[in-house]
């Protein structure tokens, strides 16, 4: 039923945006494509069919044989280091077999066993391949200490971390070396993952984003199989025993402090399987989980100190997720720019919620009046003029409203700017409001919103004051208590779409991402904070994008300048979406939308072609809720690229 509802919503969306005829044509094309694929013997995967995804997307035996024949220009030796402690023989055998089965052969496996007693049965496994090194330590030095002992045994060009009960995909090292050849400057690499139970059933695939510092500070999403260049590991000086329980989290954060983002490579493939059993970290008891959480909290606190940030670390929405609230420096002024046309009651709800709930007081509200047609709204403006920190900028006249005489429909029409275009242009209206603001930081806020979080300005400022952050977005809800916005993914729905739209406010989506602080490519301008200087740096909002995609374009321009976009779900608003503007359901509006879509496509072809770096190529662009793609994902190998180029010639 969920899929049927999703398809109906898709059709409604396309009719509203593209019109009935183009929607029918698109539906016909989709049906024909499915018929052709059926005749070829290809089947669509059902959402959630991970077994089908594995069958379609992972290498077959013939592929593995071809990988074994591959001669790379760069063929580094990879040292896989494994700390051991009371390892079960069944899992040890599985680990050894998964490494020996690798389609890339230049590796060594370094095992450091801190168990109280040596298991003599292990010899038959580690002695069957001369590339395996085993050392019995005689005592347990903890996870960090045992790992450091394994690193001392390593002689490779890269150090790969793996747990003693996990399994590698047989093509894991091949993909790592392929990535190193593709990006020779790589100093750190990580991959996607899934879980595997005691009966070798795979599930819970985690298709990860590319490197994202705020996401990492919220959750150790990099986790198990990860690869360090040997020189980088030497700079890090191994694992810190003070952080046992979160020692890998610590080393990833320290890595991020000294490694450039462009030297961190994400491989969007499932390369290892995290073993889940009664004694695994995935099933720790409450005491052990609390111990691990406290260790992770200390790791984050020390990380913030090292990089010069002041913040409070606390528990996030679920176990294993952290929340950081950054301290606000000084008392900077914030300008809240609210475009408005008529809709007195809607605007009043928004303004009242800000005035009554906001705990941070150094702010101004700049209402950008745009072509209102009722006396009622101007009467309300007269009330607002009496409020000290509220001013009204009249887009029609191009001036601030200074007194009650200027605050009327008649005055606005009489003093209207020459050659003023009356078509709705959100970007132009916002730009006008920003230019009439005086704050060091600017918030774009829709008039059809209602504040939920009293300390919203502090929470947003804490992030926005960081030198590396260019914009901060928030979590928005529909009145029916479902999510309206939890960040934007470029590519969803063709251009861009809101994540987790319409899932319950109290529920969780894919790995609870809707409730995590994350870096994203874009957030909605229904509520977004930026340093005021950003507008000058990026050339303000693009006024050629009057209605659609202007916020996404604005965020991508900020990203182009090297800044991060942060989504903070701990700032919440109700959003009574687009009540005053109406629907995109006239030929003129459809034409305008198509023109803006074309402009966006021409402006940002690279991210539309290669995919949003904060999403994952394995995830569908047909839905907002992080489903696996229901077709085979095409990863171009070297040979396929050559063939493709020959065809072009």
pLDDT digits (tens, 9 = 90+) for 440-457: 999 999 999 999 999 999
In this structure, is residue 34 part of a structural domain? yes
Same domain, 190 and 236: yes
In this structure, is residue 235 part of a structural domain? yes
Same domain, 94 and 237: yes
In this structure, is residue 145 part of a structural domain? yes
Same domain, 339 and 476: yes
Same domain, 529 and 419: yes
How far, CA to CA in Å, does 360 sit from each of 328, 380, 459?
A: 10, 24, 10
Question: Given this model, what pLDDT does residue 267 score?
Answer: 96
Domain that holds residue 595: 334-610
CA-CA-CA-CA torsion sign (244, 250, 255, 261): positive
Helix ranges restricted to H, 115-171: 123-126, 142-152
Same domain, 28 and 121: no
In this structure, is residue 305 part of a structural domain? no
| pLDDT < 50: residue spans in the chain | 1-3, 5-6, 40-45, 283-284, 579-582, 636-649
Same domain, 265 and 363: no
| DSSP code string of 54-74 | HHHHS--HHHHHHHHT---S-
Q: Which two tokens stand for residue 390?
A: 């509220």
In this structure, is residue 294 part of a structural domain? no
**Rounded distance between C-alpha atoms, residue 501 and residue 489, angstroms:** 11
Question: Given this model, what pLDDT does residue 644 score?
Answer: 35
Contact 526, 426 (CB under 8 A): no
DSSP structural state of residue 327: P
Same domain, 369 and 508: yes
Q: Which two tokens stand for residue 627?
A: 């489903």
| DSSP code string of 399-442 | EE--SGGGSSHHHHHHTPPTT---S--HHHHHHHHHHT---SEE
Assign 298 to helix, strand or coil: helix
- Of 254, 283, 312, which marks where a domain is finished? 283
Exposure letters 546-576 (e unless 16+ CB within 10 A, then b): bbbbbbbbbbbbbbeeebbbbbbbbbbbbbb
Q: How many CA atoms lie within 13 A of 97 on its CB side?
A: 7
**Rounded distance between C-alpha atoms, residue 512 and residue 483, angstroms:** 13
How far, CA to CA in Å, does 76 sit from each of 173, 184, 264, 271, 557?
A: 10, 11, 17, 18, 38
Contact 247, 147 (CB under 8 A): yes
**Rounded distance between C-alpha atoms, residue 597 and residue 605, angstroms:** 12
Same domain, 387 and 431: yes
Assign 40 to helix, strand or coil: coil
Question: Given this model, what pLDDT does residue 49 score?
Answer: 83
Q: Is 191 left (phi over 0), alpha (psi -120 to 50) or beta?
A: beta
**What is the distance of C-alpha 90 from the center of its chain?**
37
Q: How many CA atoms lie within 13 A of 453 on its CB side?
A: 17
DSSP structural state of residue 610: H
Domain count, the chain: 3
Question: Given this model, what pLDDT does residue 293 score?
Answer: 87
Same domain, 85 and 231: yes
At 457-494, the pLDDT tens digits run: 999 999 999 999 999 999 999 999 999 999 999 999 89
pTM for this prediction: 0.90
Same domain, 92 and 210: yes
In this structure, is residue 118 part of a structural domain? yes
In this structure, is residue 624 part of a structural domain? no
Exposure letters 352-370 (e unless 16+ CB within 10 A, then b): ebbeeebebeebbbbbbbb
Q: In sequence order, what E strands does 97-161 have?
A: 107-113, 132-136, 158-161
Question: Given this model, what pLDDT does residue 289 score?
Answer: 66
Helix ranges restricted to H, 465-616: 532-538, 550-560, 587-603, 605-610
DSSP structural state of residue 315: E
CA-CA-CA-CA torsion sign (69, 635, 228, 321): negative
Question: Given this model, what pLDDT does residue 34 score?
Answer: 58
Same domain, 445 and 505: yes
Assign 192 to helix, strand or coil: strand
Residues 6+ apart with CB under 8 A from 426: 339, 525, 541, 546, 547, 550
Same domain, 268 and 402: no
Contact 345, 380 (CB under 8 A): no
Instruction: CATH number of the domain at 549, please.
Output: 3.90.550.10
In this structure, is residue 529 part of a structural domain? yes
Q: Which residues, listed in sequence order, are joined to residue 266 by a DSSP beta bridge?
A: 190
Q: Which residues, listed in sequence order, are joined to residue 227 by a DSSP beta bridge?
A: 160, 189
């Amino acid at each position: 039923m969920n899929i049927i509802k999703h398809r109906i919503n898709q059709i409604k969306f396309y009719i509203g945006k593209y019109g009935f005829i183009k929607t029918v044509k698109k539906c016909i094309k989709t049906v024909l494509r499915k018929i052709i694929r059926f005749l070829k013997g290809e089947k669509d995967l059902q959402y959630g069919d991970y077994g089908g995804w594995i069958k379609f997307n992972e290498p077959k035996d013939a592929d593995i044989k071809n990988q074994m024949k591959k001669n790379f220009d760069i063929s580094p030796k990879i040292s896989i280091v494994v700390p051991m402690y009371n390892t079960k023989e069944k899992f040890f055998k599985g680990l050894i077999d998964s490494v020996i089965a690798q389609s890339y052969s230049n590796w060594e496996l370094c095992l450091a066993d801190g168990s109280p007693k040596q298991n003599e049965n292990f010899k038959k496994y580690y002695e069957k391949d001369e590339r395996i090194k085993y050392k019995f330590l005689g005592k347990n030095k903890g996870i960090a200490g045992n790992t450091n002992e394994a690193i001392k045994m390593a002689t490779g060009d890269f150090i790969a971390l793996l747990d003693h009960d996990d399994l590698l995909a047989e093509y894991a090292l091949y993909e790592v070396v392929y990535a190193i050849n593709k990006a020779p400057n790589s100093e750190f690499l990580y991959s996607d993952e899934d879980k595997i139970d005691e009966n070798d059933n795979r599930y819970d695939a985690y298709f990860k984003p590319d490197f994202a510092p705020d996401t990492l500070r919220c959750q150790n999403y990099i986790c198990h199989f990860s690869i360090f260049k040997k020189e980088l590991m030497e700079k890090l000086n191994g694992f810190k025993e003070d952080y046992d329980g979160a020692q890998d989290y610590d080393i990833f954060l320290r890595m991020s402090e000294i490694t450039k983002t462009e030297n961190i490579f994400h491989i969007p493939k499932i390369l290892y399987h995290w073993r889940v059993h009664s004694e695994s970290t995935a099933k720790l008891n409450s005491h052990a989980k609390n111990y691990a959480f406290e260790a992770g909290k200390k790791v984050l606190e020390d990380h913030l100190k090292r990089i010069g940030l002041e913040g409070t670390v606390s528990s996030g929405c679920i176990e294993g997720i952290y929340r950081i609230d950054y301290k606000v420096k000084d008392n900077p002024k914030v300008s809240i720019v609210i475009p408005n046309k008529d809709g007195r009651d809607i605007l009043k709800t928004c303004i009242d919620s800000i005035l009554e709930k906001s705990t941070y007081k150094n702010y101004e509200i700049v209402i950008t009046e745009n072509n209102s047609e009722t006396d009622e709204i101007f009467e309300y403006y007269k009330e607002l003029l009496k409020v000290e920190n509220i001013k009204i900028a009249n887009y029609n006249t191009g001036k601030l409203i200074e007194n009650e005489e200027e605050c009327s429909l008649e005055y606005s029409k009489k003093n209207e700017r020459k050659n003023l275009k009356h078509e709705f242009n959100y970007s132009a209206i916002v730009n006008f409001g920003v230019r009439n603001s005086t704050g060091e930081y600017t918030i774009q806020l829709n008039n059809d919103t209602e504040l939920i979080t009293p300390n919203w300005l502090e929470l947003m400022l804490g992030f926005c004051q960081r030198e590396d952050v260019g914009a901060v977005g928030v979590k928005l809800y529909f009145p029916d208590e479902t999510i309206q916005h939890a960040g934007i993914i470029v590519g969803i729905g063709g251009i861009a779409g809101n994540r987790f739209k319409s899932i319950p406010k109290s529920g969780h989506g894919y790995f609870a991402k809707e409730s995590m602080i994350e870096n994203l490519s874009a957030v909605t301008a229904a509520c977004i904070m930026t340093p005021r200087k950003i507008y000058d740096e990026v050339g303000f909002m693009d006024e050629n994008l009057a209605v659609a995609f202007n916020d996404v374009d604005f965020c991508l321009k900020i990203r182009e300048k090297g800044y991060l976009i942060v989504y903070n779900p701990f700032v919440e608003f109700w959003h009574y979406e687009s009540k005053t503007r109406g629907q995109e359901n006239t030929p003129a509006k459809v034409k305008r939308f198509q023109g803006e879509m074309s402009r966006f496509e021409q402006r940002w072809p690279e991210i539309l072609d290669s995919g949003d770096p904060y999403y994952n190529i394995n995830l569908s662009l047909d839905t907002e809720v992080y489903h696996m793609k229901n077709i085979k994902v095409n990863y171009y190998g070297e040979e396929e690229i050559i063939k493709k180029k020959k065809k072009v010639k």
